[in-house]
């Protein structure tokens, strides 16, 4: 049986991440050897090789993680985590909102909704370390990191703050790579996890 990537399916861009990972797997030529599946229950985490925490509403996802008994299994998960937008907020060691029960799996501080409300959402071509050309990013009520610890590698920033970082096999992105057709960051995460 091949590798399995779970998409935390409590709220947010779940189907978009399922499609984006399927596209990345197809682009890399690994169809049949890697499967992306939705995850809603604690028992579904144990068999995963990697996990994605999608964008959505961070306080809602945080509450649903606690309500569904997923907090400890997520904290103890040994695979890599691909975290976008709200997912990035949940990975932070410090969040500017006490309603978010963060997983504290990456050593950085984050500011939620750093660009304002939904109407301030925007698209931009951003430079990401290690990519050969800019990445077209969708920022929707996006966060930014404003402090990182020594184990964190900053891979992208704009004037407002840090928008992309990595720590071990974990990747945090303040934007939504799953909304475009560019598979490079999903493929990079799969490579970082040793799955392709």
Residue 176 annotated in active site:
yes
Annotated active-site residue in 17, 85, 166, 170: 85
pLDDT at 97 over 70: yes
Residue 116 pLDDT class (50, 70, 90 cuts):
confident
End-to-end CA distance of the chain: 15
pLDDT, position 148: 97
Mind spelling out the 3-state secondary structure of 80-145?
EEEEECHHHHHHEEEECCCCCCCCCCEEEEEECCCCCCHHHCEEEEECCCCCCCCEEEEECCCCEE
Q: To the nearest 10°, report the CA torsion of 89, 93, 96, 98.
A: 100
28-33 mean pLDDT: 76
Say which CATH class 3-192 falls into: alpha beta
22-32 mean pLDDT: 82
Q: What is the pLDDT of residues 152-186, one digit of tens each?
A: 999 999 999 999 999 999 999 999 999 999 999 99
Residue 178 annotated in active site:
yes
Hey, where are the domains in the chain? 3-192
Q: What is the pLDDT of residues 44-76, one digit of tens each?
A: 998 899 999 998 899 999 999 999 999 999 999
pLDDT, position 115: 79
pLDDT at 133 over 80: yes
Annotated active-site residue in 16, 176, 186, 193: 176
* pLDDT cut 90: percent of the chain above it: 80
Residue 31 pLDDT class (50, 70, 90 cuts):
confident
pLDDT at 1 over 60: no
Annotated active-site residue in 16, 17, 178, 186: 178
pLDDT, position 28: 81
Q: Supply the pTM of this predicted model.
A: 0.94
């Amino acid at each position: 049986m091949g590798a399995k990537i779970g998409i935390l399916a409590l709220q947010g861009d779940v189907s978009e991440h399922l499609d984006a990972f399927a596209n990345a797997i197809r682009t890399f030529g690994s169809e049949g050897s890697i499967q992306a599946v939705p995850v809603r229950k604690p028992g579904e985490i144990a068999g995963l090789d990697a996990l994605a925490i999608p964008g959505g509403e961070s306080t809602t996802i945080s509450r649903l993680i606690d309500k569904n008994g997923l907090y400890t299994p997520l904290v103890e998960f040994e695979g890599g985590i691909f975290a976008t937008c709200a997912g990035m907020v949940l990975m932070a060691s410090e969040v500017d909102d006490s309603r978010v029960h963060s997983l504290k799996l990456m050593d950085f501080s984050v500011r939620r909704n750093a660009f304002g409300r939904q109407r301030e959402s925007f698209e931009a071509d951003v430079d990401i370390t290690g990519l050969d050309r800019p990445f077209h990013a969708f920022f929707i009520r996006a966060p930014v990191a404003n402090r990182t610890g020594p184990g964190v590698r900053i891979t992208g920033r704009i004037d407002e703050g840090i928008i992309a970082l990595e720590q071990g096999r974990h990747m945090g992105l303040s934007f939504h790579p799953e909304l475009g057709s560019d598979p490079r960051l999903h493929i990079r995460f799969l490579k970082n996890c040793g799955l392709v």
